[in-house]
Amino acid sequence: MKTTRNILLGLTTAALTAGMVFAGSHTTPEGQAVAARHAHMDLYQFNLGILGNMAKGAVDFDEAVAMGAAKDLAALANMSQASYWIPGTSSTDIEGSRALPAAFTDMEDAIAKSMALAEAANAMAEAAGTLDGVKANLGKVGGACGACHKAYRAPSS
């Protein structure tokens, strides 16, 4: 009984400590910017996952769901991310960031890559009413994502 209580107390203490460290890292403007970027990328991934699963036949094509995911993807791609990309938030500046310093020094190219993603996402939103439309545009969206990641994202550790 005492061992179980000590284990539970240890796990609770560890969880609370981890939560405080996580929350503390998000109280600075830099930490909040990185958290916002991660959330934005997670939403890209979520919507692309929906479309990708339909394209490869892992789930049945559903026009309404595909259109919703594609429209959300386009909205995300067209949304200003300027407040996420502040100085001091590269992978060399802050733990948890995978944004390479080049993302902040070659802004013209980074913005061009962002605009290419918006263009591809807009095309997906126009075509997502059919499975063929999703399939025809998924590679373009993925290519736009990959171009930015290749140039400006550090590998995962």
Average pLDDT taken over every residue of the chain: 88
Q: Burial of 75 by CB count in 10 Å (0-12 exposed, 13-18 middle, 19+ buried)?
A: middle
Q: Is the dihedral of CA 130, 132, 137, 138 positive or negative?
A: positive
- Write down the pLDDT at residue 4: 46
- Write down the pLDDT at residue 6: 46
CB 34 within 8 A of CB 96: yes
Per-run averaged pLDDT (10 residues), the chain, 157 residues: 49 48 67 97 98 98 98 97 94 95 93 97 98 98 97 91
- Write down the pLDDT at residue 27: 87
- Write down the pLDDT at residue 21: 44
Residue type for 138, please? L
Residue type for 62, please? D
User: Hey, what domains does the chain have and what are their CATH numbers?
Assistant: 29-152 (1.20.120.10)
